[in-house]
Chains A and B, each alone.
Chain A
Amino acid sequence: MRGSAATFRLLLVDACQAGVLTRKKGGRIVPPFALPSDDELAGKGVALLTASAADEDAQESDELGASFFTHALLSGLLGAADANRDENVVLEEAYHYAYASTLRNTSRTVGGTQHPAFSYELRGQGQIVLTRPAQARAHRGMLELPRGAAYLVFPDGPNGGVVAEVGVEAPVRTLSLPAGKYFLRGRAPDHLLEGVVALAAGQMQHVQSSSLARVEYAHLVRKGASVRSFVHDVELGARERGALPNAEQPCWGGFAGYALNVRHAVIRARTGICASRGENDVVRTSLREYDFGMRAAYAWDLTSWLSVEAGPGLTLSWWKQQFTTRGRAPPRSSLGGAGELALSIVLELPRSSLYASIDAAAQLYVLGMEDDVTKQSQLRAEWCQRGSIALGQHF
């Protein structure tokens, strides 16, 4: 590089432990190439930007489809780094943007925080302009992204590579991009915003958050699109269970629940109470059931607002029968349990982290019953159905 005849030399290195280069070690000479115009360069000398410090790995992201550093630098050159909004992205702006973005994006990775390095020997006045995003409007458009979320811009849909990124706190949110369609994914602290925008050459496209689809936590976790690997839910609901042999009528009641959403599954725990009544010519019976159940379910996201869950579960129940009679009928308490297969439909409520769910389950209960005639206790297994509705919130 030192043998180059160029008046300004910029070396970008995205490699593990590339920071050693900023200490004037290593490096490999490559053939020189011409820049369009030396006149526009305000300085002379050498600048070296490296993806990581001397003792760090340069990390790559599966989600971005690129290395963190290169991706951040390119996003900056597209306009995101233009801190003073003079429509010029200069060397320092590009470095600062790439540094901050790489630091932020690698702060939670297994590889640890990655620190890009910058070294230079420059002479002359003025700053080195690397790009002028606004000057290419003949075949490019300007995309301004809304605040409140960190955005990734995908040129080929959500499964392709990422062309640019704008951080949640980035003051400049305008990118210069070739005309075309782009898939946008904005990651807010508590939800995801997704949508497709068409960008025409010379157009200034202001994207509104409201024009993007909102995807809630559970979907984020299952899509792997969240930095979190799980999401908590709490819920309240009402339910009805068919009559068991210890009651004449269905058991109506309510429950409180908690759910843990992980990548492909949901684990739900619910505790509840229900009541039923019965009456014959001598005794009026009041039945209460207190229960605690757990269920593991596989979840399918049919749309961004509709999911289906299915899976097995177990319920432990404590029944208390109390009797009103002119005769003698002491209360009875007993334990039992049920295995179940449940199916749930979960609807994400718009513009919130709330959801509503409807579920149905086939349950096989095992309970101790006294025979009407012989008065002997015996175990009985009985099928019944249960339906419930719930309103919950993701956390």
Chain B
Amino acid sequence: MRRTGSFLGMGLGLLAGCGDAQVSPNYRGEPLLKIQGTVTRTDGSPVEESLVPAIAWWQEKGAITPPGGAWEPSQDLSSWALHDVGVLGHFPAEFTMSVYEPPPNGSYHELAFEPGVEFAVGYIVAVPADHPSETPGDVRSPSGSIELPLAQGVAQNYVVAYVPEEQPEGSILSGLLNG
């Protein structure tokens, strides 16, 4: 009887090995982007555990013009769409965050020098866990740096760019993204 049960279990196990593995209701899709990092405060104080990572997608209408080759928003930023991201590891210590969705509608901008090509820009930020999905308001500081009222911090020196269409090799945008 025990042998019969073993064969039965083995048979079901072999069957269950066929095809793709099923996923749980927590499945959020295949990651479009994975980022590894560590959050620290510049003054050395501890980071609150209640913070979560997010990407703040810039939602201002208009075009982005690269003045002199540098990426600067041409207009004041008026709102941000905050996207939660999946996190592995221990945030805010060492973690890996995964982006599962493209930026929301309203986050796409047209490149002035390449009409028809859309482009989204976002910043990796640390925000309170109970943040709203959109954060309106003036987020440019008098000094001209990027500011997001809810953000407790932002990844310096990094920007996330999303282009919904595959860009042909040798195009200006492709060159900029790879550069």
Contact = CB atoms under 8 A, between A and B. Distances in A.
B14 to A, nearest CB: 9
Given A246-B24, A247-B25, A280-B25, A327 B30 contact: yes
Contacts of A248: 25
A283 B25 CA distance: 9
A178 B11 CA distance: 65
B101 interface: yes
Contacts of A246: 22-24
Contact of B28 (A282, A318, A338, A378): A282
A244 B16 CA distance: 14
B29 A329 contact: yes
Contact of A321 (B23, B28, B100): B23
Contact of A329 (B16, B18, B22, B27): B27
A341 to B, nearest CB: 13
A337 B7 CA distance: 13
Contacts of B28: 280-283, 325, 327, 329
B16 A327 contact: no
Nearest to B85: A282
Interface stretch (A23-31, A44-52, A151-159, A367-375): A367-375
B12 interface: yes
B22 A368 contact: yes
Interface residues of A, number: 42
A335 B23 contact: no
Contact of A366 (B16, B23, B100): B16
A336 interface: yes
Contacts, number: 117
Contact of B15 (A247, A328, A336, A370): A336
B20 interface: yes
Given A326-B101, A329-B27, A370 B22 contact: yes
Q: Which of the listed residues B9, B29, B30, B84 has the most CB atoms from chain A within 10 Å of its own CB?
A: B29
- The A interface, classified by DSSP as helix, strand, loop or mixed, is strand
Interface string B68-96: 00000000000000001000100000000
A378 B16 CA distance: 9
Contacts of B26: 280, 372
A337 B102 contact: no
Nearest to A326: B101
Contacts of A332: 19-23
Contact of B16 (A321, A333, A335, A339): A335
A336 B20 CA distance: 11
A323 interface: yes
A339 B84 CA distance: 41
A377 to B, nearest CB: 4
B12 A334 contact: no
Interface in B36-65: none
Given A330-B30, A333-B19, A366 B102 contact: no
Contacts of A319: 22
B8 interface: yes
A297 B101 CA distance: 50
A285 interface: yes
Contact of B100 (A282, A335, A337): A282
A283 B23 CA distance: 12
A245 B13 contact: no
A370 B16 CA distance: 12
B17 to A, nearest CB: 6
Contacts of A378: 21
Closest 8 CB pairs of A and B: A334-B19, A329-B29, A246-B22, A377-B21, A332-B20, A248-B25, A366-B12, A370-B21
12 contacts: A280-B26, A321-B22, A323-B27, A327-B28, A328-B100, A329-B28, A330-B30, A332-B22, A337-B16, A370-B22, A372-B23, A372-B26
